Amino acid sequence: MLAFAFAFHLVMRNSGQEPWEATEVVSIYYIFVEIFPNEY
């Protein structure tokens, strides 16, 4: 599941929609929590 969140992050960053270079870890964690809110 974490790999899916990471892949989604890479797709979003490559599309140029979000400047996440400075907050990669935070954005990956945020996406992971949003997709799988029951994991934590």
The whole-chain average pLDDT of the chain stands at 68
SS3 state of residue 40: coil
pLDDT score for 23: 63
**What range defines the domain where residue 35 resides?**
2-39
Q: pTM for this structure?
A: 0.32
Q: Give Cα 11 distance to the centre of its chain.
A: 9
pLDDT tops 60 at residue 19: no
Q: Give Cα 37 distance to the centre of its chain.
A: 13
> How far apart are alpha carbons 40 and 25 in whole angstroms?
17
pLDDT tops 70 at residue 3: yes
Give the residue with greater pLDDT, 33 vs 40.
33
Number of domains into which the chain is organized: 1
Percent of the chain predicted with pLDDT > 90: 0
